[in-house]
Structure 1
Amino acid sequence: MGRLEVAEGQFRFGGQPIRLMSGAMHYFRIVPEYWRDRLLKLKACGLNTVETYIAWNVHEPAEGRFQFQGMADVVRFVETAGELGLHVIVRPSPYICAEWEFGGLPAWLLGYPDLRLRCMDPLFLEKVDAYYDVLIPLLKPLLSTSGGPIIAVQIENEYGSYGNDRAYLDYLRQGLLTRGIDVPLFTSDGPTDAMLQGGTLPDVLATVNFGSRPEEAFAKFREYRSAEPLMCMEFWNGWFDHWMKPHHTRPAAEVADVFERMLEAGASVNFYMFHGGTNFGFYNGANYGGVYEPTVTSYDYDAPLSESGDVTDKYIAVRELLRRYGYASGAELPEPLPKRSYGTVRLTEHAELFASLPVLSSPVERTCPEPMEKLGQSYGFIVYSTTVSGPRLSESLHLQDAHDRALVFLDGAYVGTVERWDPKPLKLDVPAQGARLDIVVENMGRINYGPRLRDFKGITEGVRLNNQFLFHWTIHPLPLDKLDGLQYQPCEKGHILAGPAFYRGELDVQEPADTFIRLTGWTKGVVWVNGFNLGRYWERGPQRTLYVPGPLLRRGGNEIVVFELHGAERPEITLEDRPDLGE
């Protein structure tokens, strides 16, 4: 039992000076069977602390329905860290960024049209309070003051990058205090005047986030806080990837150099990320820097521990530096987890999407093509259908603000794709008898950072031919959280369907181990293994394989389902023993 204190410009714990040598890893990006392995490797590197965000949308996926089991069992994750002798920093802000869907905010918030995010909006605060009334009592017994491993708790995340409502920050602080959080609270922001002015509170510990030029960052911090310990709460030692962009890497020597300069400055450091993990399912986020940029499935981050938990050159460089500065933990480095190639798997059955709509979704009728959030849907796909009169020759079909990628079909024939980052109209020829128009829209991840957080999905404005809006739609929400109702048919002689379809096959496994699915020849879609959503693939890259943690497999038969939007060369995938994250 103890409490982290700030005295004479340094941290103290249990009366003794301490520098926090920390690494970030997120329990919700790692299968629970591997939490202990990843935490042991963090400790063996020489770190004494682990930091994790807490993702609101993971724990309250539907309003009033809370989950804290399986990958959402944050209590067990924190307890495991404590059992290994690690301190824990938790960041349970309503908003976390983290390249995570909607920055961790639950999508159902967008079902309230007048709600304002991240400010003193009474409705938003009401929802935060209801969440904290459930979450914080779970964390309270884990505080160091109660004998647990949690030594510090964040109030909000990089708030100065978004707003300047200090009354909101103080409201969150008071909410943590009144619910019994009695370990130090802190904020974290970028090292600029605007961010430090907007995101900090005068009597709350402040920290800064950056990836390079530590002297400049700490000098700016010292202009605002002259007596507090220096701490880089996010040392960006790698970076994340967007689809259609190159894979990010950063040399180990460069990371070690910046880290050593922070050590020389007497700073505490949290590696963001130490182990990134995976954006399983539909939980990847997106950025908007003048154009929408969705994040890939892998969150490898070029971190010291790879996506599959392997030691990298960066890990070795960091461990050596920590040893030189007296932070050798003495902990044994666990053996690498086995990886296996299982070869080629043939997908022998298929189920066409449009024929499967009655078993996948309950349709709703609307005058306008409403976005997902107005229909109570958070993730996945959505299908809009209507009948268009004819004849109408060479008219332009406009999807106004389709978020994020829409496939258009006329009487079942593929017309083209409209992408949010390149929203060009499509030419349509409607025959005299009229035609059925179907639009399949994919939510590719809500924006997780910046001023465009309110990111509705589906068709958010309307659909028109030339300047005429089309009304009266049948809408099928497709969260794809349950696939057990699909009726499959045999793939005749390796036949691939022309449009969106599900493909199913079986992988026989004698010894379950980590593996990586390669989808060469496939175009774009989603993969499930034994009902677990691995995430998205796309031929545009950079990511070329999907990570399959060994615990998702079982001895004997394993079901693999691929939802392909466009088509493939042949109904086959391969499972390899190494990842390919692109170049």
Structure 2
Amino acid sequence: MMNLSIFKSQIKVSVIACLLLFGLHFLSFAQQKHSFQIKDGAFLYDGKATQIHAGEMHFARIPKTYWRHRLQMLKAMGLNTVATYVFWNYHNTAPGVWDFKSESRNLPEFLRIAQEEGMFVILRPGPYACAEWEFGGYPWWLQQNPALEIRTYNKAFLDSCQVYIHQLASQVKNLQVSKGGPIIMVQAENEFGSYVAQRKDIPLELHKKYNLAIKQMLLDEGFDVPLFTSDGSWLFDGGSLEGVLPTANGEGDVVNLKNAVNKYHQNQGPYMVAEYYPGWLHHWGEPFPNVSSEEVVKQLETYLKNGVNFNIYMAHGGTNFGFTAGANYNEEHDIQPDLTTYDYDAPVSEAGWATPKYLAIRELMKKYVNYPIPEIPKPLPVVNLGKIQLTKSVDLLTLKNSLTPIKSDSVLSFEKLNQGFGYVLYSKKFTQPIQGKLTLNGLRDFAVVYVNGKKKGELSRMDKQYSLDIDIPFNGTLEILVENMGRINYGAEIVHNEKGLITSPKINDIPLKGNWAMYQFPFATMPTLKENSSLAKEARPAIYGGTFEVKQLGDVFLDMRTWGKGIVFVNGQNLGRYWKVGPQQTLYLPSAFLKKGKNEIVVFEQLNEKTQAEIPTLAEPILK
């Protein structure tokens, strides 16, 4: 009979040998290099003509634990490629601090999962992204350098871009298809043609030098897959680059597409719509946009019949968690803040559900593609948690007394206070009574005004409401709670993105100078409330807290219809902004942020028109 220890040793050696053999085989497979090139008017993968049927989704807007499910949803819709932006400010979390590893910031992991699911990847690293994302992806503190001007041929800015592109390349250049990874193309800048058209104050040659500089940085850092630009077809003159494929955003006319590409790309294709919109972006206080399934299918079929490559923007939108939502700007509204949801009326909903639009696209793709389309993944669980009780609260105007303010003769912007996001309470005491019209022309973006702790009104940059009548008594105190509602992410006004009060408030056109105290509430982390505190006061800003039990994990939606305006934390995760003006009335709480057993919730309510005791939960969102 064999000695038992020898027998175990032989088994152990055999197992190790098998694991080594398997590991070498897997390593060989993972490192298998391929080619992807643009040649003879076509995309060639290992020399074979290949059509790109892509869908856009942004890993930063999706909990990491859901990445695989969402990629599987795209593949089951009939797509073979995922396109994603990389947001510079999402990874450069503070000056000199880089994060490509923690949770949803783990870009290399997202790329590996995409490859495991059999998807090509189109990488869109900017440095400018837009995407209705805070500051278009730029770190807010770039504005701290007076010598720096973003998105132009400016040495300080280009030096910063070089640092970002170097950091990015160190994470992803070995995940290009040429190195055995899934990345087949990389975008240079983003929609630069539209910026050239909007910034005619900058000489065209400087625009061109900047655009070429970004292209060269990408090449110098080792990106060797094809580069492309992305613009409206009528804007190629400002945004296209020699030797780089121009692609058209929002172009539905195939003839226009081909004529534009031919003019700027060797009189031949391939032809690609880098952003086809099955829905649209949405702002607070505006109707939720809709694009019908019939319209989407009709346009996609036009592309398929004519051999046009496309990227559905968005195939799955996700969520602007925390303070990541950006804002737009136009003449009617000084700012148009974006919703917390980035549902986008996309085929895959915010919570990852297959919509009727999704099913219609899937049936269309079955008719045209020559690769297998898998079954639709099972929906992730949804739960209803009933009503979440809030058992403790604190009044913010009282809480400020425990903080040390920054004092100055004049008001300071968020940037001058070295604060990126959240809220600042500006406070000033008066030794003499004064009454008249308070004007905040430098408001960025939303303010609630108090005199001696009593609410006097709301002012909003969104509605161009910058003044109200005010009466401050002898020894009275004026307090102005100011909220940053997201930096502008698109257009010429992106260079004017300071927040807070950026000019002195005035009463009767007289600037209010001297004796300002500024209390900072960045809410970078979830506040901690004392047990059994019940200090919230009606019509004054308040922080509420509570705990709730979860027996079965699942996605859920917080019903905020009885609340005014604010943000919600669950287990330390900022779910984003809610606001009674709608259209969004719920906040998405994914099960990835929950845990079985005891969970914590904290709400900052700015308006607090009535004291609150609970938050109902729903199994479906209210977005319209």
- Regarding TM over 0.5, the answer is yes
Conserved? CA contact 1:506–1:557, under 8 Å:
yes
Deviation digits for residues 494-550 of structure 1, max 9, x if unmatched?
x75331011112221100100000012111111111110000111110001110111
| Bigger share in strand | 1
Question: Please, which of 111, 117, 121 is the counterpart of residue 84 of structure 1?
Answer: 117
Deviation digits for residues 102-143 of structure 1, max 9, x if unmatched?
111110111123311111100001111122221111111111
Instruction: Specify the SS of the correspondent of 1:543.
Output: coil
Deviation digits for residues 42-62 of structure 1, max 9, x if unmatched?
111111110000001101121
Conserved? CA contact 1:46–1:327, under 8 Å:
no
Instruction: Give the CA deviation at 1:211.
Output: 5.8
Question: Please, which of 18, 33, 38 is the counterpart of residue 65 of structure 2?
Answer: 33
- Corresponding residue for residue 379 of structure 1: 421
- Corresponding residue for residue 511 of structure 1: 552
Whole-Å separation in 2 of the counterparts to 1:289 and 1:339: 39
Instruction: Specify the SS of the correspondent of 1:374.
Output: coil
Query: Is 1:554 matched with 2:586?
Result: no
Query: Is 1:12 matched with 2:36?
Result: no
- Corresponding residue for residue 479 of structure 2: 438
1:146-165 matches, within 5 Å, as: 146-163=179-196, 164=204, 165=207
Instruction: Give the CA deviation at 1:475.
Output: 1.3
Whole-Å separation in 1 of the counterparts to 2:371 and 2:354: 16
Whole-Å separation in 2 of the counterparts to 1:319 and 1:272: 16
Conserved? CA contact 2:232–2:251, under 8 Å:
no
Query: Is 1:216 matched with 2:256?
Result: yes
Deviation digits for residues 187-222 of structure 1, max 9, x if unmatched?
100111xx2111111211111100644443444443
Whole-Å separation in 2 of the counterparts to 1:218 and 1:548: 44
- Corresponding residue for residue 483 of structure 1: 526
Instruction: Give the CA deviation at 1:562.
Output: 1.0
1:147-296 matches, within 5 Å, as: 147-163=180-196, 164=204, 165-192=207-234, 195-210=235-250, 212-225=252-265, 226-290=267-331, 291=333, 292-296=335-339
- Corresponding residue for residue 354 of structure 2: 311
Whole-Å separation in 2 of the counterparts to 1:109 and 1:540: 32
Larger mean CA deviation between 455-464 and 222-231 belongs to: 222-231
Instruction: Give the CA deviation at 1:413.
Output: 1.1
Pick closer, same or farther for the CA change 1:385–1:459 going to 2, 3 Å. Answer: same
Query: Is 1:354 matched with 2:386?
Result: no
Instruction: Specify the SS of the correspondent of 1:148.
Output: coil
- Corresponding residue for residue 5 of structure 2: none
Deviation digits for residues 383-420 of structure 1, max 9, x if unmatched?
11111232223x11111220100111111111111111
Conserved? CA contact 2:240–2:264, under 8 Å:
no
AA of the residue aligned to 2:129: I
Whole-Å separation in 2 of the counterparts to 1:517 and 1:568: 19
Query: Is 1:143 matched with 2:184?
Result: no
- Corresponding residue for residue 426 of structure 1: 468
Instruction: Give the CA deviation at 1:273.
Output: 0.3
- Corresponding residue for residue 79 of structure 2: 47
Question: Please, which of 554, 567, 572 is the counterpart of residue 608 of structure 2?
Answer: 567
Whole-Å separation in 2 of the counterparts to 1:125 and 1:416: 43
Conserved? CA contact 2:77–2:373, under 8 Å:
no
Whole-Å separation in 1 of the counterparts to 2:430 and 2:437: 13
Deviation digits for residues 168-199 of structure 1, max 9, x if unmatched?
1111111111111111111100111xx21111
Instruction: Specify the SS of the correspondent of 2:440.
Output: strand
- Corresponding residue for residue 542 of structure 1: 583
Conserved? CA contact 2:393–2:529, under 8 Å:
no
Instruction: Specify the SS of the correspondent of 1:65.
Output: coil
Question: Please, which of 424, 435, 438 is the counterpart of residue 397 of structure 1?
Answer: 438
Instruction: Give the CA deviation at 1:327.
Output: 4.4
- Corresponding residue for residue 406 of structure 2: 364
Root-mean-square deviation (Å): 1.6
Pick closer, same or farther for the CA change 1:127–1:358 going to 2, 3 Å. Answer: farther
- Corresponding residue for residue 532 of structure 1: 573
Conserved? CA contact 1:496–1:568, under 8 Å:
no
Instruction: Specify the SS of the correspondent of 2:135.
Output: helix
Pick closer, same or farther for the CA change 1:389–1:212 going to 2, 3 Å. Answer: farther
- Corresponding residue for residue 384 of structure 2: 341
Pick closer, same or farther for the CA change 1:358–1:140 going to 2, 3 Å. Answer: farther
Question: Please, which of 454, 460, 474 is the counterpart of residue 502 of structure 2?
Answer: 460
Whole-Å separation in 2 of the counterparts to 1:557 and 1:60: 33
Conserved? CA contact 1:341–1:577, under 8 Å:
yes
Instruction: Give the CA deviation at 1:224.
Output: 3.3
**TM-score, structure 1 normalization:** 0.96
Deviation digits for residues 532-571 of structure 1, max 9, x if unmatched?
0000111110001110111111111111111111115442
Deviation digits for residues 220-246 of structure 1, max 9, x if unmatched?
443433212000111111111111100
Deviation digits for residues 479-508 of structure 1, max 9, x if unmatched?
10123444465338xx75331011112221
AA of the residue aligned to 1:38: R
- Corresponding residue for residue 108 of structure 1: 141
Instruction: Give the CA deviation at 1:442.
Output: 0.5
Instruction: Specify the SS of the correspondent of 2:169.
Output: helix
Instruction: Give the CA deviation at 1:423.
Output: 2.4
Whole-Å separation in 2 of the counterparts to 1:149 and 1:463: 53
Conserved? CA contact 2:395–2:540, under 8 Å:
yes
Instruction: Give the CA deviation at 1:84.
Output: 1.0
- Corresponding residue for residue 563 of structure 2: 522
Deviation digits for residues 416-466 of structure 1, max 9, x if unmatched?
1111132241212122x3211111100011111000002111011111111
Query: Is 1:302 matched with 2:334?
Result: no
Identical counterparts, % of pairs: 40
AA of the residue aligned to 2:348: L
Larger mean CA deviation between 112-121 and 49-58 belongs to: 112-121
Whole-Å separation in 2 of the counterparts to 1:327 and 1:189: 29
AA of the residue aligned to 1:115: L
Conserved? CA contact 2:395–2:537, under 8 Å:
no
AA of the residue aligned to 1:118: R
Conserved? CA contact 2:261–2:268, under 8 Å:
no
Q: What count of residue pairs does the alignment treat as equivalent?
A: 575
Pick closer, same or farther for the CA change 1:327–1:370 going to 2, 3 Å. Answer: farther
Conserved? CA contact 1:211–1:236, under 8 Å:
no
Instruction: Give the CA deviation at 1:3.
Output: 2.2
Whole-Å separation in 2 of the counterparts to 1:78 and 1:277: 17
Whole-Å separation in 1 of the counterparts to 2:342 and 2:215: 30
Conserved? CA contact 1:356–1:487, under 8 Å:
no
Larger mean CA deviation between 445-454 and 419-428 belongs to: 419-428
